[in-house]
Amino acid sequence: MAKRTKKVGSAGRFSSRYGVRSRTQIRNIEITQKAKHVCPSCGHKKVKRVSTSIWQCGKCGIKFAGGAYFPKTEAGQNVEKMMKGEAPAPEMVKPETKEKEVVKEEVKEEVKEKGEKE
């Protein structure tokens, strides 16, 4: 059987529709999505995508949630680093409530003045 789609790969099913850029982006995503990935549990290159964000290892049978197109996302890797202590956790910035309190006091004073005038 002849190879039909040399350049376009799996995006050949779209023919000339949807534009070149969209088709190449889909092709690149599908290549990485359908490839075998390394298992976080056993280390073998047997992880395949079962469904959206669900991945399963063919060797050890572990099923885990990951990204929609990749088993490990950047956000997930950052969280793992923070849990291990390799990366510092981001500091949470508290909103300053002093300004709000000052504004509330000014509003209360204005309401009192209006009440006294009437």
C-alpha separations of 10 from 6, 13, 15, 46 in Å: 10, 7, 10, 21
Percent of the chain at pLDDT exceeding 70: 85
What's the pLDDT at 103?
Answer: 66
Architecture of domain 36-87: Single Sheet (2.20)
Average pLDDT of 88-112?
69
Percent of the chain at pLDDT exceeding 90: 42
Return the structure tokens found at 70.
């990749």
- Is the pLDDT at 2 greater than 80, yes or no? no
What's the pLDDT at 86?
Answer: 81
Question: Could you tell me the sign of the dihedral formed by the alpha carbons of 98, 103, 108, 109, in that order?
Answer: positive
- Is the pLDDT at 9 greater than 90, yes or no? no
Domain extents for the chain? 1-34, 36-87
* Choice between 64 and 114, residue whose per-residue pLDDT is larger: 64
Q: What is the pTM of this model?
A: 0.62
- Is the pLDDT at 22 greater than 90, yes or no? yes
Confidence of residue 60 (pLDDT cuts 50, 70, 90): very high
- Is the pLDDT at 17 greater than 80, yes or no? yes
